[in-house]
Amino acid sequence: MSSAEGEVEEAGHRRMPESIVNISAEEYAQLNKKLVRKIDLVILPTIGILYILNYIDRQNLAAAKLQGIMEDLNMTTQQFATSVSILFVGYLPFQIPSNLLITKFSRPGMYICVAVVIWGAISAATAAVKTYGQLLAVRSILGVVEAVFFPGAIYYLSAWYTKTELGKRIAALYIAQQFGNAFGGLLAAAILQLDGSHGIAGWRWLFIVEGVVTIGVGTICALIMPEFPHNSRFLSQTQRDLAVWRIESEAGAAEGREQESVLKGFAKALTDPKLLLLIFCNMMSQGQGSIANFFPTIVASLGYSRTISLLLTAPPYILAGIVYYFLMFWSDKKNMVYLPIMVCIAISCGMYIIPMATVNVGARYFSMMILPFASVGPQLLLYKAINLHLARPVSKRAAASALVNAIGGTSNIWASYLYYAPPHFFAAFGALMGCAMLFAVAITVYRWLVLRDNKRLDSGEPELVAKAMKGGITEEMVQLNWRYEMF
């Protein structure tokens, strides 16, 4: 009997497709390797480019401030701050209905790309605003449309990759974000040189150029972005069969095959205590991650000129991108997230203490080199856990992913008021240390809950198995001997 046939027996009632059932273990491994490489070459560059555009379009208002948008629209400092933050009024809550809606489409890639084109048009339209009120209206709508992308992208990736592959792909999104951090400012500086051309202010050119580029790239990506594995057009039939089987055999069901209402999936997500813990963990993690929004301000407290301070922000971002990849590579290889999360928390707490305790430039900059990856790294691991632990039904997983990101993102609102009183920033670093400690407690409780459910499943006793199933484990998952992993 071939290795592939053995997997059929392990999967119980779900039979391996005929196209791959009789191949040898070596052929299966080779076919799987070629499939993953093909998926990577098509999906990762597409998602990465779209994420860079998402991040740039969300941040370009800050660059516009340098070219006189406040003066042209007669805005006060407080009004400008409101115009920045109002994007999150739509961005955070609309992630939930968007991720529930994406499960109803047989072509989620097209759904995401249509949103990209729309937000590009809205961003370009920002160039036409004449008043503060118009700017608020445009920014509010922009937040609603951009809510589609990030949770939708995480959900989309988890439909293609297994639990041992997903981590590095999520890390790729965060690496793309660092790319946007490093080069977004340079791009804006170049565009702003058009100030006055054809009688148009530089900040208006910024929105026009970046908006039009986003529309063009979104349209191209819509033509090449694959859909679900079972209906993808860039794979052969054998590759489609294998792509579907990889997910089915691991999680108990495949994307696009389940029939459950969106409202039922949302209700299941809300009643799962493990999800509530993950939401709280992400809220604390994003509270820590708010340091990225004010990193130039923190680096400027070292006392260097504005130019040198901006240059000094680059190495931490580069280091963070490198560490993100190796962090997720290690997590995938060891199938573990709890330990690396706790290590990151411990490191970040130590780094928070340094700027509060000393004004030594070397020591402070050392902490600034470490903090971006130590404070943001756990978010990557959390997104991996939410998509693998709360896996089925698909509507529940989509709702869970959006809930974690939307509610967790509210930390960016209150955390923005903490970064004052340089050089020590006692309020900011003290609060972030508190977030880290609460995060550690919550993720440890979560670990206890999932290990308890694993013991219930291992017992084989119907009563205990039924209790585990109340937490979202399906009958298919029980038959496939599914277990919570990585903790």
| Overall average pLDDT of the 35-49 stretch | 89
d(CA 471, CA 468): 6
CATH number 1.20.1250.20 is the correct assignment for the domain at 1-251 = yes
List CB contacts of 356: < 8 A, sequence separation 6 or more. 424, 425, 426, 429, 430
Model pLDDT, residue 151: 79
Q: What is the pTM of this model?
A: 0.71
pLDDT at 141: 92
Q: Which residue has the tokens 């160039």?
A: 127
Which pLDDT belongs to residue 4?
42
**Sign of the alpha-carbon torsion through 165, 406, 277, 480:** negative
pLDDT digits (tens, 9 = 90+) for 247-283: 777 655 444 455 555 566 666 667 777 888 888 998 9
10 alpha-carbon distance from chain centroid: 33
Query: What is the DSSP annotation of 406-421?
Result: HHHTTHHHHHTTS--S
Residues of the chain with CATH 1.20.1250.20: 1-251, 260-487
pLDDT in tens, 177-192: 777 766 666 676 677 7
CA 379 – CA 282 distance, rounded (Å): 7
Share of the chain above pLDDT 70, in %: 85
Mean pLDDT of all residues belonging to the chain:
81
In sequence order, which ranges of 200-272 are alpha helices (DSSP H)?
A: 202-224, 237-251, 262-270
Rounded CA-CA distance 177/48 in Å is 8
Average pLDDT over residues 131-152: 89
State the pLDDT at residue 465: 84
As a dihedral over the C-alpha atoms of residue 291, residue 383, residue 210, residue 414, rounded to 10 degrees, the angle is -40
293-317: pLDDT as tens digits: 667 778 878 888 755 766 787 788 8
- Cα-based distances in Å from 322 to 142, 241, 316, 333, 469: 31, 34, 10, 17, 39
Provide DSSP, 338-393. HHHHHHHHHHHHHHHHHHHH---HHHHHHHHHHHHHHHHHHHHHHHHHHHHHS-SS
Homologous superfamily, domain 260-487? MFS general substrate transporter like domains (1.20.1250.20)
| Higher pLDDT pick, 161 / 265 | 161
Query: What DSSP string runs through 421-467?
Result: STTT-HHHHHHHHHHHHHHHHHHHHHHHHHHHHHHHHHH--HHHHHH
